[in-house]
Amino acid sequence: MSTERDSETTFDEDSQPNDEVVPYSDDETEDELDDQEPAVEPQQNRVNKEAEETREPFKKDCTWQVKANDRRFHEQPQFMNTVFFCIKESKYANNAIKTYKYNALTFLPMNLFEQFKRAANFYFLVLLILQAIPQISTLAWYTTLVPLLVVLGITAIKDLVDDVARHKMDKEINNRTCEVIKDGRFKVAKWKDIQVGDVIRLKKNDFIPADILLLSSSEPNSLCYVETAELDGETNLKFKMALEVTHQYLQEENSLAAFDGFIECEEPNNRLDKFTGTLFWKNTSFPLDADKILLRGCVIRNTDFCHGLVIFAGADSKIMKNSGKTRFKRTKIDYLMNYMVYTIFVVLILLSAGLAIGHAYWEAQVGNFSWYLYDGEDSAPSYRGFLNFWGYIIVLNTLVPISLYVSVEVIRLGQSYFINWDLQMYYPEKDTPAKARTTTLNEQLGQIHYIFSDKTGTLTQNVMTFKKCCINGQIYGDHRDASQNSHSKIEPVDFSWNTFADGKLAFYDHYLIEQIQSGKEPEVQQFFFLLAVCHTVMADRLDGQLNYQAASPDEGALVSAARNFGFVFLARTQNTITISELGTERTYHVLALLDFNSDRKRMSIIVRTPEGNIRLYCKGADIVIYERLHRTNPTRQETQDALDIFASETLRTLCLCYKEIEEKEFEEWNKKFMAASVASTNRDEALDKVYEEIEKDLILLGATAIEDKLQDGVPETISKLSKADIKIWVLTGDKKETAENIGFACELLTEDTTICYGEDISALLHTRMENQRNRGGVYAKFVPRVYEPFFPSGGNRALIITGSWLNEILLEKKSKRSKILKLKFPRTEEGRRLRTQSMRKLEVKKEQQQQNFVDLACECSAVICCRVTPKQKAMVVDLVKRYKKAITLAIGDGANDVNMIKTAHIGVGISGQEGMQAVMSSDYSFAQFRYLQRLLLVHGRWSYIRMCKFLRYFFYKNFAFTLVHFWYSFFNGYSAQTAYEDWFITLYNVLYSSLPVLLMGLLDQDVSDKLSLRFPGLYVVGQRDLLFNYRRFFVSLLHGALTSLVLFFIPYGAYTQTMGQDGEAPSDYQSFAVTIASALIITVNFQIGLDTSYWTFVNAFSIFGSIALYFGIMFDFHSAGIHVLFPSSFQFTGTASNALRQPYIWLTIILTVAVCLLPIIAIRFLSMTIWPSESDKIQKHRKQLKAETQWQRRKHVFRRDVSTRRSAYAFSHQRGYADLISSGRSIRKKRSPLDGVIADGSAEYRRTAES
């Protein structure tokens, strides 16, 4: 048994998932491993295993070849792919982006082809052909042609408008310009004309047009600062650095034009954080990595100009590869509507077949023996029945509503405009309105079960703000005056005394300023000095203003806070740092910079003061700082209490400490430090060990508290959406502590929440899998599934899981073991069968494990997935879609969210200061997360209710209209004769009954928007599909059938043996048709009045206007004048004026309408009185509910020594600029020969580390 289990394990059980790292890159899938492994004989296993261990990595993957300044190179035959027969094109994509579907030539044929793929449209095309056959048709051809042309025309115009917008957007992007080397010099060229191998020049604030290799820039050592907001939503700058050889030789235009380097690299892929390649130039090869690549979509910042070589263009660029497949999204109601249309097809065929059989029987029994019915054709009754079958298909064709689809599109278009026009979703600060980028998904907004949200830039502003601090055991940051008296309302601190203050910090504790300026407590000044000196921020001056560039927003916030409080970081060189201390400028010698990483969770700096003392300053997470404190720290407990308070307020904290170092101690440590710095192997581990030796016996100064500023209204929005029974999952690339902290800040998590982590979940799932294996083996999925909860009922639980644990749990993790298994390729049929069986078991096990994980996660009130890749985000969304069959919505702001946005049923992009990549791929966009509650609870719910009412009424009115023919058949020998005039049939769905139902679908609302937001529980009707389902559909059909029964038989009974007042008999066929038609129009229009919840002048006008329009057109069509002009088309001459002047006819019409509507009124009254819905109750008391209630944030209760969590430490989750600073590469100054030696040594040791 143990052997079998080992063979089923596809992941390495010995390795524990690392919470700090983002798992493997997105493109490293098992499929690739399959492709890379050769199919070999069993005896070759040992040889292949040795080869696998010794071969050079990635060499065989580097098949993408780029030659600089040589376009002909990329047009060689070996780079051409066959597209169609003998037509070939280069495998290198051009840089033009194409998102449109049609051009001038293809629009008409392609659009018509797409429209006729719809079953209803194709059905009506077939009907039109059938109506051209005189032996079959009893209806004129125009009764089908006119509605069909209207439907096709409106849909085509809508598609055309959408595609023109895409053309404009593509044109705008493709026609952006940059400088490209042509004919030996830089010339302005459009983006669409850029090709792989071109050398281009970009300037400050330019968008990068393609994925390029950085060759040189205006900065020292060809550094280039880029903003990656388009990719990941982060606004802090990242730096890239060119190769030293290209920096040295490729600065001038003539040298760039002569550059003939050759690059071999990996094929285009979606790995944003990795790149592998080699540059061959000057008979030397130079390794390339992601730090030398500028990606399309990023923006050049703080760099005057830079030069680059295009490697991937257009569709091959990483940002385009990351966008995932564009999926055609359709709503749940769309699918349901299609099935209902198919149901109506079946009903139509059954009715037609039954009536055709009836006609054949009638012909045999009656028709053949009635001389006055002889038509001159001696056809058999069965043949006449067959012809009548097609005749009834035509007559009853209005059961399948041709105008249904176009009406739905018009309603959706109108609802989209309402979203666009909603001023309460407009963000004035960025002049950004809400935008419905698709018109096909509106009602699905009212059915959402799960929301998957990014964190950075979506829930948060990605703006860090210094809020509070604890110094020497004293907490600062509350609303206090200079005398320590607390005030509820107080002016912010005035920093005008400080010439370097940036004016952006809002701080309300005046007592702290008093302490700094008085100098009574030296620890206070020491605290802010530490913030000003211990960091990797770089400073520059632009237009006389001091600006900071930080590796993370946290560091920038701390240094800016120190600046405002009078301790200003002014400048740094490779080995000095200059600080302005309350106006006094002092320069310190930097002896060592001990950078942050995710394992150390701290950073330190060792400086020599102008007085000659050596001091270490350190800041880091409390969990690592407290382990390294000196035993005698008098404020240790007070600072811990402050940290607990800050944690309860969801602030990000760092502990600050320092240490005096003796000269002798430093010299001994420095020798070890220098030795570790040049270690050829395990350099990072050696350095960390040396750092540990000096970072001990520290003296605690205090702690900082930074607010990772949430967007306005995020907790309120999450609270309301939770009350609407919508579950919110946060999927982020951030580290676990940060994600957890934001969970508490936005109230996804509370102090009462029991948090389960990856290891807890893994144990629970392992136990469940064992139980399932014992019960039914790995094929337990074929046994009827009994759902067992993972947790006892009651209690509030949340799941926090990292990307590494996610791979472990979902059996997505790869290892060498799986590769070795694949080498054992079976030769015999039995071996192949066993291998297939084993693989199938693995697949079943994986599917079972994923099902269990989704079940477990859905039992939690909140789920936070951190350190996940874009592919994992999409995978989590897909798992919930697949196993829960739930409607999902994904919301994000960066390119790393695009895959998730496209995978979910509905994708929402946050637009604003971050990039537009997510917006471009989204279905809806707006500027702030808080607008999501209005999008779902108001627009989504209204759209769902309107669409459901529209569809129920539409099916009802068409059945009421069409089934009159069915009842009439019993009295006309089943001869497929129509009960109405042809023109009435043509215009019924187009004019007489279309406007009221369209306006109800656009304007109706059961309760106001304010009440919709105030009572989120109203939203659940959409989640449970209560307003439109098969039961509701059949009720509508039954209602229509009963209405048609009344419409036919009451006039039929009234017309039997009657006589008009003037002695004329109005009981002819044409008068009968007019009576039924008039009763029908009044009934269906009054019926929609009963269905309308929100009355406006427009609704009332449309109902009475439709009735008036019917009578106006009917009198015109029945006039003698039009009959003279078109005698064959208008044959009801004088019928309306003759029939409708008889009071008896009007009484008949009134009786018919009353019998149709009074039962409905009675049923509605009883249901609203005895079984009122939630919206009925709110409507009834809406006047009392008008007063708005303000949402109250949950109060934090601090209990000493009861804190169950650590606050997130305020650091970037990547290395800072320390390596850059210590090597001197970022410093604008002439280097001395000694500097050059140091820099070369640093460069050499960095290359060693990279390799």
Give the residue numbers marked as catalytic.
454
What's the CA gap between 1226 and 223, in Å, rounded?
7
What's the CA gap between 110 and 156, in Å, rounded?
10
Distance of CA 1116 to the CA centre of its chain: 54
What's the CA gap between 943 and 1003, in Å, rounded?
9
> Which residue in this structure is represented by tokens 């471009």?
920
Residue 27 is classified by DSSP as T
What's the CA gap between 351 and 168, in Å, rounded?
50
CB-CB contact of 753 with 796 (8 Å):
yes
- Cα Rg for the chain, rounded, in angstroms? 38
Spatial neighbors of 609 by CB under 8 A, at least 6 apart, are 588, 615
**Token output for 773:** 């294996």
What's the CA gap between 190 and 777, in Å, rounded?
62
State the pairing for strand pair 177-182/199-203: antiparallel
CB-CB contact of 601 with 624 (8 Å):
yes
φ, ψ (nearest 5 deg) of residue 203: -115, 170
HEC states along 49-92? HHHHHHCCCCHHHCCEEEECCCCHHHHCHHHEEEEECCEEEECC
CB-CB contact of 927 with 427 (8 Å):
yes
Instruction: Give 376: exposed, middle or buried? Use CB within 10 Å, 0-12, 13-18, 19+.
Output: exposed
Distances (CA, A) of 1152 to 1046, 1125, 1155, 1165: 7, 35, 5, 21
Closest CA to 224 of 1241, 1246, 1220: 1220
CB-CB contact of 1057 with 1136 (8 Å):
no
Distances (CA, A) of 246 to 222, 567, 1018, 1250: 9, 40, 64, 19
Spatial neighbors of 346 by CB under 8 A, at least 6 apart, are none
Distances (CA, A) of 637 to 101, 474, 643, 1158, 1208: 66, 11, 10, 78, 19
CA angle at 520 for the pair 518 and 521, rounded to the nearest 5°: 120
DSSP string covering 132-196: T-TTT-SS-THHHHHHHHHHHHHHHHHHHHHHHHHHHHHHHHHT-EEEEEETTEEEEEEGGG--T
Closest CA to 320 of 556, 99, 169: 99
What's the CA gap between 1130 and 1128, in Å, rounded?
6
What's the CA gap between 104 and 109, in Å, rounded?
10
In the chain, the amino acid numbered 380 is A
DSSP string covering 416-476: HHHHHH-GGG-BTTTTB--EE--SS-GGGGGS--EEEE-STTTTEEEEEEEEEEEETTEEE
φ, ψ (nearest 5 deg) of residue 880: -65, -40
